[in-house]
Structure 1
Amino acid sequence: MIPSSAPRHPYFAAGDPPRVLAHRGLVTAEAASAGVVDNSFAAVAEAHAVGLAYVESDCHLTADGVVVLFHDDDLARVTGDPRRIAEVRLHELEEVMSDHGGLITLEQALEAFPDTRFNLDVKAEAAADPVGRLVAAQAHRVLLTSFSEERRRRALDAAMTAGASVRPATSPGSATVARLVAAVATGVAPVARRALRGLDALQIPERQGPVRVLTPRLLRIAHAVGVEVHVWTVNDRDDMMRLLEMGVDGLVTDRGDVALELVNGR
């Protein structure tokens, strides 16, 4: 729980933390055996069906300028096709994904799942402005992020330019996280608080190689300024319980059904 009196972004209106963010939707073992892959229409639908209010996904742009939910920049991992998303037209991508749970565009996701909160990672440079424009009318239920600060800011600016009544929620890119972790590690709290300015969530791994990213001190500083801390990607049940006991506000997980059961059982 966040003690700060700072107003929460409406993105968080689905309930109090801890939150479960379905990483690329939800693909059960049964669905996977039938060929369903992450970030497909079926994966988002399954997350919705089991009651997961938050779906974390990724945005790329097709050759004909359509924003699609897709993690990788090519089709190799999920279909064996080596082509890049940016080289494939929408109708081609729909055909390729037809046996893998179905393609889902960002526009379709927002329309088909009006109660779902979407946590969108802008993966492709060319997708930043189109993503911002598409989410403008739904900014109250969208969080925009990217490993690239420039892409993240461009998407946010595009949403506001397109008439969003509220800025989408946001989480920082890699450079900001690095500054924050360094400031926390060296005990320079004012620098850490400045790094968190303008953010709604801090979405981080527990560790990055040998570096411990998540610490009790970081949690305290983030909570003091009203910023939620979400940890990715947590799939082990014992890790989930440990992090929830530590006080994190959200779990980004491929096992959204398991995490939701744990959260609801607390």
Structure 2
Amino acid sequence: MSHPWFARPRPRVLAHRGLLPADADGIAENSFAAVAAAHAAGAAYVESDCHLTSDGEVVLFHDADLSRVTGDPRPVAEVPLVELERLMGARGGLITLRQALEAFPDLRFNLDVKAQAAAVPVGRIVARHAERVLLASFSDARRRTALDAAERFGRGIRPATSAGTATIGRTLSALAVRSMPLVRRALAGVDALQVPERQGRVRVVTPRLIEAAHACGVEVHVWTVNDAPHMTRLLDLGVDGIVTDRADVALRLVAERR
């Protein structure tokens, strides 16, 4: 049986770090305003990132430090929650993971655990909301740590999960030697492959990958796709979801296809 996170119709539009409308001057990605804008545009899924503040609060923030978003060079892990709230006040407002899950109860979240220290706190927080959370990380070990914590503190259902870099590598290697048993072994316990279309010169998303993933009951989501022709080409190829900075564009495109 499919995880409840996947109960919405395909193809899925995952609002990458929320949504920054064209007139959103000064609003930052992963802010409260960005998540609210995605929700207002009709997004059912928001992709976001998790870091831990110096006083142990999980916040939605992509980078390990504040320099790109606020001009402050300090790592997120060295800044207390109240100070981070002040820095983000004029940039759409900081949003913690707890706030995101409570303020937007009809949204499903795709959460990339960016820091090892955040893995257990993330798992503990999402445990009560596991039916509408997918946990991801480039690190399979970090992802599994968060999943284990969610199961430990949860109510009998684990969050959905997508493959980390090592799992994706094993899957592509298995495809290269045309071994479905190895593909199935690589994708055991995984609900989605979330990948770029290409990695350097290597084409990751191919008809063979999509067919093999679907044979294993695994969806394929492609990041980060921001123009309509590119979205159309991937959807025609058979991908199950698009991770995009332009959820408004993708939602209109998907609506036209249904």
TM normalised by structure 1 equals 0.95
Deviations 1:194-246 (A, max 9, x none): 11111111111111111111110110011112111100000121110000000
Query: 1:250-261 alignment to 2 at 5 Å?
Result: 250-261=241-252
Q: Residue 61 of structure 1: CA displacement?
A: 0.1
The answer as to 2:39 corresponding to 1:28 is no
> In 2, Cα distance between the equivalents of 1:134 and 1:95?
23
* Equivalent residue, structure 2, for 1:45: 36
Residue identity opposite 2:22 in structure 1: A
> In 2, Cα distance between the equivalents of 1:78 and 1:199?
32
Residue identity opposite 2:202 in structure 1: V
The answer as to 2:208 corresponding to 1:217 is yes
1:41–1:103: 8 Å Cα contact kept in structure 2? yes
> In 2, Cα distance between the equivalents of 1:91 and 1:54?
28
> Which of 134, 137, 156 pairs up with 2:128?
137
Percent of pairs with identical residues = 68
Q: Residue 59 of structure 1: CA displacement?
A: 0.2
2:197–2:223: 8 Å Cα contact kept in structure 1? yes
Unaligned 5+ segments in structure 2 are none
2:130–2:154: 8 Å Cα contact kept in structure 1? no
> Which of 2, 16, 35 pairs up with 1:8?
2
* Equivalent residue, structure 2, for 1:242: 233
> In 2, Cα distance between the equivalents of 1:123 and 1:212?
25
Runs of 4+ in 1 over 6 A off after TM superposition: none
Residue identity opposite 1:54 in structure 2: Y
Q: Residue 145 of structure 1: CA displacement?
A: 0.8
> In 2, Cα distance between the equivalents of 1:105 and 1:189?
41
> In 1, Cα distance between the equivalents of 2:176 and 2:255?
33
Specify the SS of the correspondent of 1:120: strand
Q: Residue 185 of structure 1: CA displacement?
A: 2.1
Residue identity opposite 2:233 in structure 1: R
Query: 1:175-186 alignment to 2 at 5 Å?
Result: 175-186=166-177
Query: 1:181-220 alignment to 2 at 5 Å?
Result: 181-220=172-211
Unaligned 5+ segments in structure 1 are 1-6
* Equivalent residue, structure 1, for 2:11: 18
> In 1, Cα distance between the equivalents of 2:225 and 2:172?
20
Aligned length in residues: 257
Query: 1:9-158 alignment to 2 at 5 Å?
Result: 9-13=3-7, 15-31=8-24, 33=25, 35-158=26-149
Specify the SS of the correspondent of 1:265: helix
> In 1, Cα distance between the equivalents of 2:74 and 2:22?
27
Residue identity opposite 2:39 in structure 1: H
Specify the SS of the correspondent of 1:115: coil
Specify the SS of the correspondent of 1:20: strand
> In 2, Cα distance between the equivalents of 1:246 and 1:230?
12
What RMSD in Å do the two structures reach over aligned CA positions?
0.7
